[in-house]
């Protein structure tokens, strides 16, 4: 369990590098949410009692790279985690297309909720990059799920 | 049943944690734990990008030197021209100083003590506009330190750890800077909107504001020195049913393109 969790936190730092440094240097307003894919993977492959603490701790780390009010980032992602936990009874999450659609929808929803809780006018002029970001978030979600799946299998053996 | 209880316990703990965090205040991100995270990321980022930086420098310093001789000739010619211009400017400067002395004009803009820094990361969300720079308290950065670049105001430091600082950009919805319009001296507050346009608020309907007017910091509140360029008035909307005009300001600095910035040290005159 600890080896898996340590690896996941290692991946989290790579995610931050991609989200906050690499992608904004390519197109400044673009934000691609890699973490949603990790949440989907947590729901599928990791027990709830390990998944939720990971999401809480990881989002506290993500909070350090945002100007959002302290607690807002964990709040949004924990809500996403819980919503995903409910959705898993309705949707076959192991399917890559489901992961893509859910990744895109959740990335979009989280941006909208964050804007709604702060200042909805903040979205003015950023709708297009937000949609593009959501599409890319959807595309990377299955990849993130696959990475977590491979890690989990590797450490189980 | 046991599984359900575990979930409830975890959920209660998570909600309690969030409530505690929210109650800590708006910019509690300077707490020790979060500072350590940024410090850790600083080391991680330096290690990961080191090979790429090395390759980029190799490319820039050796491979791209093909046209250097021609550039050198052009630059030498430009330097000669600049030297002549400098002599003229030097004369103008000394004349200006003499005139100021004659008018007993007090020079409020003492030389700024500038601390250079480079951009490390941008905000991970689209809604908030913050950036992390690669200089922190050990390099002289402190909370509420104004951050500028040669074009104008960039923002202010809201959290500082030994090697990194978090900068609240002026385009963030939480940013507010006391400002005046340079020509008419109309005062207001420049607020971020989250987009690339700022809003100059509390400007009365009868105040004189024109499109193209330069908006500068007023020096009130003591955070930003007076006279730093913020932006230019892009649009003025007046509705007679409202008390204040809606003034949109285009920032001088393109926030998506910032790379190098300067922090302004404490030894600066900031009062209005």
DSSP A68-126: SPTTHHHHHHHHHHHHHHHHTTTS-TTSHHHHHHHHHHHHHHHHHHHHHHH-GGGGTT-
Cβ contact (<8 Å) for B21 and A70? yes
CA distance B44 to B179: 39
Tens of pLDDT along A117-153? 877 776 777 889 899 999 999 999 999 999 999 988 8
What does the pLDDT read at residue B240?
79
| Chain B residue with the nearest C-alpha to that of A78 | B14
DSSP strand pairing (B244-251 vs B260-264): unpaired
User: Distances from the Cα of A64 to the Cαs of B118, B153, B160, in angstroms?
Assistant: 18, 23, 11
How many C-beta atoms lie closer than 10 Å to residue B170's C-beta? 28
CA distance A16 to A33: 10
Q: Treating both helix axes as pointing N-terminal to C-terminal, what angle do A96-118 and A35-45 enclose, rounded to 10 degrees? A: 120
First to last CA, chain A: 12
Cβ contact (<8 Å) for B121 and A73? no
Report DSSP letters for chain B, one per residue.
-HHHHHHHHHHHHHHHHHHHHHHT-TT-TTSHHHHHHHHHHHHHHHHHHHHHHHHHHHHHHTGGGTTHHHHHHHHHHHHHHHHHHHHHHHHHHHHHHHHHHHHT-----PPP-EEEEEEEEE-SSSS--EEEES--GGGT--TT-EEEETTEEEEEEEEE-SS-EEEEETTSTT-EEEEEETTT--EEEEE--SSS-EEEEEEETTS---TT-EEEE--GGGSSPTT-EEEEEEEEE--TTSSEEEEEEEESS-GGG--EEEEEPS-S----
What does the pLDDT read at residue A39?
93
CA distance B261 to B146: 10
| Option in A31, A65, A71 nearest B126 (CB) | A31
The answer for B 196-235 residues in CB contact with A (under 8 A) is 196-197
What does the pLDDT read at residue B2?
58
DSSP annotation of A30: -
Residues in B closer than 8 angstroms to A126, CB to CB, are 126, 194-195
Average pLDDT over residues A8-21: 90
Cβ contact (<8 Å) for A56 and B17? yes
Cα dihedral angle (B227, B231, B232, B237), rounded to 10 degrees?
-110
Size of interface A-B (CB pairs under 8 A): 155
> Which H or E element spans position A59?
helix A48-63
* Domain range summary for chain B, segments of one domain joined by +: 1-108, 113-265
Question: Which of B120, B166, B164 has the alpha carbon at shortest distance from B258?
Answer: B120
Cβ–Cβ under 8 Å, residues B140 and B264: no
Cβ contact (<8 Å) for A62 and B48? no
| Option in B37, B132, B256 nearest A29 (CB) | B256
What does the pLDDT read at residue B239?
81
How many C-beta atoms lie closer than 10 Å to residue A70's C-beta? 23
Confidence of residue A37 (pLDDT cuts 50, 70, 90): very high
Q: Is B143 on the interface with A (CB under 8 A)?
A: no
Q: Tell me the whole-structure pTM to 2 decimals.
A: 0.76
Residues in B closer than 8 angstroms to A71, CB to CB, are 17-22, 24
Q: A101 exposed, middle or buried (CB, 10 Å; 0-12, 13-18, 19+)?
A: middle
ipTM for the whole complex: 0.83
Per-residue pLDDT for chain B (272 aa), expressed as one digit of tens each?
A: 456 677 777 777 777 777 766 665 555 455 667 777 788 888 888 888 888 888 888 777 776 676 777 788 888 878 877 776 676 676 677 667 766 655 543 444 456 778 888 888 888 888 888 999 989 989 889 999 999 888 889 999 998 888 899 999 999 888 999 999 988 888 899 998 888 889 999 988 888 888 888 999 988 888 888 888 899 999 888 887 888 888 999 998 888 888 888 888 876 544 44
What does the pLDDT read at residue B91?
65
Cβ contact (<8 Å) for A74 and B17? yes
CA distance B169 to A79: 28
CA distance A55 to A77: 7
Cβ–Cβ under 8 Å, residues B132 and B258: no
Optimal mutation site among A67, A79, A109, A121, interface B, most CBs of chain B within 10 A: A67
Q: CB-hemisphere CA count at 13 Å for B142?
A: 7
Cβ contact (<8 Å) for B172 and A125? no
Cβ contact (<8 Å) for B166 and A67? yes
Distance between A157 CA and the closest CA of chain B, angstroms: 25
Using only the alpha carbons of chain B, give its radius of gyration. Answer: 24
Residues in A closer than 8 angstroms to B132, CB to CB, are 20, 65
Query: Domain spanning B113-265 has what CATH number?
Result: 2.40.10.340
Residues in A closer than 8 angstroms to B25, CB to CB, are 70
CA distance A86 to A101: 16
Structure tokens belonging to residue B141: 């950065």
Tens of pLDDT along A90-126? 888 888 999 999 999 999 999 888 888 877 776 777 8
User: Distances from the Cα of B227 to the Cαs of B20, B64, B110, B236, in angstroms?
Assistant: 40, 40, 12, 22
Q: Is B29 on the interface with A (CB under 8 A)?
A: yes
């Amino acid at each position: 369990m600890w080896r898996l969790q340590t690896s996941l936190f290692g991946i989290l730092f790579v995610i931050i590098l991609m989200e906050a440094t690499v992608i904004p240097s390519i197109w400044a307003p673009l934000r691609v949410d890699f973490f949603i894919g990790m949440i989907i993977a947590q729901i599928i492959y990791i027990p709830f009692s390990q998944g939720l603490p990971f999401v809480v701790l990881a989002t506290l780390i993500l909070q350090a790279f945002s100007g959002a009010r302290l607690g807002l980032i964990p709040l949004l992602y924990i809500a996403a985690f819980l919503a995903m936990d409910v959705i898993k009874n309705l949707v076959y999450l192991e399917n890559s297309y489901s992961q893509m659609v859910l990744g895109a929808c959740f990335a979009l929803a989280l941006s909208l909720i964050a804007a709604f809780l702060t200042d909805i006018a903040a979205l003015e002029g950023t709708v297009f990059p937000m949609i593009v970001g959501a599409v890319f978030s959807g595309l990377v979600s299955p990849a993130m799920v696959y990475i977590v799946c491979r890690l989990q299998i590797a450490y189980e053996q | 049943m046991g599984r359900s209880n575990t979930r409830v316990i975890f959920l209660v703990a998570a909600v309690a944690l969030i409530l505690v965090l929210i109650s800590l205040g708006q910019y509690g991100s300077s707490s020790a734990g979060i500072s350590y995270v940024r410090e850790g990321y600083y080391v991680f980022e330096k290690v990961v990008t080191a090979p790429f930086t090395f390759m980029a420098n190799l490319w820039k310093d050796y491979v791209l030197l093909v046209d250097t001789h021609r550039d050198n000739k052009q630059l030498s010619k430009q330097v000669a021209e600049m030297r002549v211009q400098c002599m003229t400017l030097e004369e103008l400067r000394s004349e200006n100083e003499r005139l100021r002395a004659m008018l007993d004009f007090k020079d409020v803009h003492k030389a700024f003590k500038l601390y250079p820094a480079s951009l490390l990361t941008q905000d991970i969300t689209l809604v908030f506009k913050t950036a992390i720079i690669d200089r922190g308290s050990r390099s002289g950065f402190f909370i509420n330190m104004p951050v500028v670049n040669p074009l104008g105001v960039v923002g202010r430091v809201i959290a500082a750890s030994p090697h990194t600082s978090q900068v609240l950009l002026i385009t963030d919805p939480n940013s507010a800077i006391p400002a005046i319009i340079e020509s008419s001296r109309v005062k207001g507050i420049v607020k971020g909107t989250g987009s690339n346009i700022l809003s100059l608020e509390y400007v009365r309907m009868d105040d004189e504001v024109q499109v193209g007017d330069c908006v500068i910091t007023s020096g009130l509140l003591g955070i930003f020195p007076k006279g730093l360029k913020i932006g230019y008035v892009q649009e003025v909307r007046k509705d007679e049913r409202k008390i204040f005009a809606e003034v949109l300001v285009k920032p001088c600095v393109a926030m998506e393109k910032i790379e190098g910035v300067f922090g302004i040290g404490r030894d600066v005159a900031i009062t209005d």
